[in-house]
Amino acid sequence: MNGKNNIAIGFMTMGFFMVYGFLLIYLRDFAPGKEAWVSSYSLGKHFESRLAHVHGNLFAFLNILIGYLLLRFETQLSHVKTISWLALAGLLMPIGILSEVYLGLPPALVLIGAIAMTSSVVWLGIAFFRIKTS
């Protein structure tokens, strides 16, 4: 894996979280009992759902960007596969938030995903610093 899967999965994930955003708009503006949903704007499930939506799209975009950079600079960068896998594992964060909201699971996936994505971004930055320029 050299970044291609990051781009493909990133776009699919972004599409999913965009559709999820439409669900959130429906719940806020059109659903029966929308007033209760709006009144809990910064609390509980509503807040967590928005966090998942925002982080899902952010982490999807990061995978697209990281995937492109890994493909473009594959021969110059070290640890391309590891960075790629860590970025993909970062998607566990928004998935973990959704699993907390809808399934009541503990936040383990959130932490694993956050650590993985942060590691991939830092590692890629270090790898770019190490590129030899002529």
pLDDT digits (tens, 9 = 90+) for 31-63: 998 888 778 777 788 889 999 999 999 999 999
Contact 90, 113 (CB under 8 A): yes
Contact 5, 70 (CB under 8 A): no
Q: Which of 28-37, 58-67, 116-125 has the lowest mean pLDDT?
A: 28-37
pLDDT digits (tens, 9 = 90+) for 75-100: 999 999 999 999 999 999 999 999 99
pTM over 0.75: yes
pLDDT at 134: 66
CA separation (Å) from 28 to 32, 47, 56, 57, 83? Answer: 9, 12, 19, 19, 38
Domain ranges of the chain: 4-129
